[in-house]
Amino acid sequence: MGTWNDAISAKYAYIADEYEVAVVGAGHAGCEAACAAAHLGLKTVLFTLHLDAIANLPCNPSIGGTAKGQLVREIDALGGIMGEMADLSAIQTRMLNRSKGPAVFSPRAQMDRSQYSRRMKERLEKEPNLTLCQSEIVEVLWNEDASAKSICGVKTKSGACYPVKAVVICSGTYMESRTIMGECITESGPDGLSRSVGLSQSLRDAGIPILRFKTGTPVRVNALTVDKDEMDIQPGEPDMPPFSFGNEMAGVEVKKEQIPCYAVWTTEQTREVIKNNMDRSPLYSGVISGTGPRYCPSIEDKFVRFSDKSRHQIFVEPMGETTEELYLQGFSTSLPEEVQIKMVHSLPGLSHARIQRYAYAIEYDLIDPTSMKLSLESTILSGLFTGGQINGSSGYEEAGAQGLLAGINAALYVKGEAPLILDRSTSYLGVLVDDLVTKGTSEPYRMMTSRAEYRLFLRQDNADIRLTDIGHRIGLVGEERYAKFCEKRAAIEAEEERLRNTYIAPKEELHAILRAHNSTLTPSGVSLAELVKRPELHYDDLAPVDINRPALRKDIVFAIEVDLKYEGYIALEKDRIAKFETLEKRALAADIPYESIEGLRLEARQKLSQRKPLSVGQASRISGVSPADIAVLLVYLDAQKRKGREAHA
C-alpha cells in the first residue's frame, strides 16, 4: 500500500499526466495554494470533488473580522488572491474596532456567496500553468528508502495515477465527514455535498497521525418571511479601505451601496425550547465524538456554558445580492429539525420565518499539526504539504493564509530551494503556523488578536510594509505592483522626515487649531511631528498651518499617523521583538541528546526528543517545556560551546 508500483498494478489503474504540484481540495486553502504554485511557474493541477463549489463559504458568508481581517491583508501583501476576490464580491463592509486603537482595526465584509465562488473559479481557470480537475483523490503515493518517505504521486477513485513531485492537501472538512442533525446522521460533506472517502486512511497508512474535530453551521431563512422592523439594524460603513493593497493604492472604492445586517436577542422562549430538548442534542447525548470549537459554540452550548446569561445576541446577515437567504450568525446547532423550527420562531421578527437550510454539526478527519514542520511540510512524508482546516484551524482566512504558505513552499520544494518560514514577530500567519505546529491544538483553532505577542506591530494597515518585500522576492508580487509599493513606502518615509523637520511658529493660526481640539498651546516653535503625535490632533487638522504639504493618499496619511502617534510604543514592541529573536536564532541541532540532559524534566525530555524544535525559541513554546527547562537548555548549550563543540543549525 502507498507505493507507486502497488498503485499502478491495481485493476483499472492507469498513468495519468505528470505535474509538478498537485493540490487536493479547492476551498480557500486549495485555491491559494494552487494559484501560488502555478504563478511561481510550476505545472499545477487542482483536484476538487465539486467544481461548482470552489471557494465555498459554507458557514459565515463574510471575509475578515477581528484578527481575520489582518490575515486577509497579509495574504494580499504576500501575493495571494483572497483580498482581491473579497473586494470584488463584497455587499457590505465594516472596519471593526474603530472605536479602539489602530492596532486592532479589522476589516470585515459580507460576501455575495455565489458570486465569490464563481469569480474564484473564473480566476483559477484563467491562471496559466493551472489545470482544474473534478476528481476524487483517494490515495497519496510515496517512495520509501532506508531513511525517509517522499511523495511521488496521487491516485484518484477512478484509477488515475498522477506522477507529481509535491502534494498540497486542503481537504477542509471533507475527509470521512458526517453531518449530524439531532438523531439524523448523514455521511456527507458540508452543504449536502459528497465527502472524501479513503484519503484519510491513506494518510494513516503513511504514518501521519489523524484527529477528528467537529464544527457547525447555523440556519438559513428566507428574507421575505422575516419582519425586519422587530430587529436592530446594523448598517455597514462605506469608508473601509479595500482588502487588497493593489486596490487601495489604486484608490478603488469597495462597495458604496451597502446592504444592512440586523441583530436580535434570544428570548425566554428560546431558552425553554432548547432546555426541553437537550436530550435530543447529539453533543450531549454522546453521538458526536469530535471536539468542537470553544470560540464558535452552538447556541445550546452557549446556554449550557453561560447559564447565568438569560439571552444571547444573534446577527442576521444577507448572503448575496441575488438571493433572499439570510444567515443567522451565532445560531448554529445540531438539534433536530423539529426543534430548530421552534427555536427560530422564538426569535423577534422571525416568528413566521421559513427555513431554507437547516443547521447541522459536521465531524471530520484532520491531521495532527504537530506532525508538520514550520513550512507546513509533513515531518513524516517529504513533499506532502497541508493547509487549512485539515491542520486543525477553523475559518476561511486561516485556511487561505495556510494554503498560500503551503503552495509557496511546495513550489520551493520542487525547485530545491529553502522554504519560507515566517516567525511570530512578522505576521499573524507566522503566529498561526507556529501555534499549530509547535503547540498543536485540541479543538478547531481560530485566530484572535490576543494570540499575537506583537499586536501593535502586526496591524492590518502595515501588512504590506511587513510582507511585500518577501512576496516580491519569492516571485508572487509582480514588478508593477512592487514598484507602486516601493513608491508608497518612500512617500511615507519622506513625509515623516518632513514632518519631523518642519517647525510651526506659536502664532494665532496654530493656536486657533489647538484650542478647537482642546490641545495645550505651544510656547515656542514645535515640529509638525510633535503635533501629530498628540492624541487629540490629526494630520488633516493641521492643513491650515502646513500649506506646502504634498498631496498624499489616504492610506499613506493613515500609516504616517500611526507611526508617529505610537512611536514610543512601537519602539518598545521592537525591543521585545529583538529579545524574542535572540532565542529564535539560537539553533538547536537535530541530534541533541535531550534524554540525557539531567536538569530537564521528564516531560520536557520526551517532548523535545519527539518534536526536535529548530530553535530554543520554538522549544520554549512546546507544551510541557517550562522556562526552567529552557534555562537548563541554555546552560547546556553554553557548556557544549565551552567544550569546543558548536551546535550547528
Partner 1 sequence: MASDKPYCACATPPGVSGIALIRMAGDGASTVADRVFVLRRAALGAKSVSEMQGYTVAYGHIVHPETHKIIDEVMLTRFTAPHSYTGEDAIEISCHGGTAVRQEILRVLLLAGARMALPGEFTRKAFAAGKIDLTQAESVMDVIAADSAMALEAAESQLMGTVKKEVRRISSSIYAVFAAMEMMVEFPHEEEYPQDDEKQEAALQAILHDMDMLIGTFSQGRILKEKMTTVLVGVPNSGKSSLLNRIAGFERAIVTSVPGTTRDTLEVDTTMGGVPIRLIDTAGIRGTEDEVEAIGVNRAKKATGEADIVFWLVSSENFRLEEHEEMIGDLAKLSKNTKLGLLISKSDTGSNEANDAVQKAILSSFAGIEDAHDISFIQNVSATTGEGIDAMCDMVKAVYDALGVGHGQEVIITSERHYERLRAAQEHVKEALRVLSHGEPKEIVCLLLRTAMEEIGEITGDSVSEKLVDTIFSRFCIGK
- Residues of the shown chain interacting with partner 1 in the complex, contacts defined by CB under 8 A: 66, 96-97, 99-104, 309, 313, 448-450, 453, 455-456, 535, 566, 569, 572-573, 576, 579, 582-583, 586, 593, 596-601, 620, 627-628, 630-632, 634-636, 638-639, 642
Query: Residue 445 or residue 636: which is nearer to partner 1 going by CB?
Result: 636
Count of CB atoms situated within 10 Å of the CB of 518: 8
Treating both helix axes as pointing N-terminal to C-terminal, what angle do 396-415 and 68-78 enclose, rounded to 10 degrees? 30
Q: Which is nearer to partner 1, 56 or 449 (CB)?
A: 449
Direct distance between the N- and C-terminal alpha carbons of the chain, in angstroms, rounded to an integer: 35
Question: Which residue's entry shows cell 474603530?
Answer: 98
Q: Got the DSSP string for 393-408?
A: B-SHHHHHHHHHHHHH
Question: Looking at 406-448, which runs of residues are DSSP E strands?
Answer: none
Nearest distance from residue 590's CB to partner 1, in Å?
16
Sheet strand arrangement including 130-134? 130-134, 44-48, 21-24, 166-169, 384-386
Q: Which C-beta is closer to partner 1: that of 101 or that of 419?
A: 101
Could you give the C-alpha distances from 174 to 34, 50, 292, 440, in angstroms and in order? Answer: 18, 11, 16, 21
The torsion of the CA quartet 410, 413, 418, 419, rounded to 10 degrees, works out to 20
> What single-letter amino acid sits at 65?
G
Which of residues 152 and 261 has its CB atom nearest to partner 1 in the complex?
Answer: 261
- Shortest separation between residue 329's beta carbon and partner 1, angstroms: 12
Q: Which is nearer to partner 1, 128 or 568 (CB)?
A: 568
Quote the least distance from Cβ 437 to partner 1, whole Å.
22
Burial zone of 491 (CB within 10 Å; 0-12 exposed, 13-18 middle, 19+ buried): middle
Pick the closer one to partner 1 by CB: 211 or 577: 577
Q: How far is the CB of 546 from partner 1 (least distance, A)?
A: 25
DSSP states of 464-508: HHHHHHHHHHHT-S-HHHHHHHHHHHHHHHHHHHHHHH-EE-SSH
| Cβ-based nearer residue to partner 1, 252 or 639 | 639
- The total of other beta-carbon atoms located within 10 Å of residue 577's CB is 17
Which set of grid coordinates corresponds to residue 384? Answer: 506532502
Sign of the dihedral through C-alpha 393, 395, 399, 402: negative
Q: Please state the closest distance from residue 66 (CB atom) to partner 1, in A.
A: 7
Closest to partner 1 by CB, 544 or 599 = 599
Q: What is the DSSP letter of 369?
A: G
The nearest distance, CB 236 to partner 1, in angstroms, is: 14
DSSP for 214-283 reads EEEEEEEEEGGG--GGGSEEE---TTPPPSSHHHHHTTPPP-SSPPPEEEEE--HHHHHHHHHTGGG-TT
CB 225 within 8 Å of CB 354: yes
Residue nearer to partner 1 on the CB measure, 28 or 302: 302
Of 96 and 109, the one with the shorter C-beta distance to partner 1 is: 96
Q: Rounded to an integer, what is the distance from CA 59 to the centroid of its chain? A: 15
Which H/E stretch holds residue 328? strand 325-332
All three cell numbers of 522, joined, read 505651544
